Amino acid sequence: MVKVEIVEENSPYGSEAGSRASSTTSLSSVESDIDNDESFIDRIAALVDIVPPTTRHAISERVSKSASLIKRGGKFAGNLVWILTTSALLVALPLALVLEDEAKIVAQERELLEQQQGQQQMLGPSMYPPNPNQPKAVVPPGF
């Protein structure tokens, strides 16, 4: 709050012929008048009286509009995140599982095809011609 005092003629503030020494003593006396128990919040609250009501109202309106805008933006972002996560769970997850199963089936088919090719190579004619110096195996007639 603003405190109004009546200044007397003999005070250093009222005289125009004051010297530098009297002005420094007056400053030190003013500093001693400050209440040390006053907190920072009390000082800020006292500044309310300095700002005119129209300016305070304009500041209040801007702060409330900004808070409203931030709230609406946050709500929109939350809804967007909700839509994306539920879509991912309902569409993308089953699709990923189906693609993984299909990849397993393709791998099994490839393995089966490789096994069949390996059997055909073992049963089929050899790539190398038979050695003429090697004796032929004679199979007894009972077998």
Over residues 19-26, the mean pLDDT reads 50
In a domain, residue 35? The reply is yes
In a domain, residue 84? The reply is yes
Domain that holds residue 24: 20-117
In a domain, residue 1? The reply is no
**What is the pLDDT, as a whole number, of residue 30?**
53
Domain count, the chain: 1
pLDDT, tens digit (0-9, with 9 covering 90-100), for 39-93: 888 888 888 888 888 998 999 999 999 999 999 999 999 999 999 999 999 999 9
Report the predicted TM-score, pTM, of the whole model to 2 decimal places. 0.40
In a domain, residue 37? The reply is yes
In a domain, residue 127? The reply is no
Residues 22, 28, 32: CA angle, nearest 5 degrees: 140
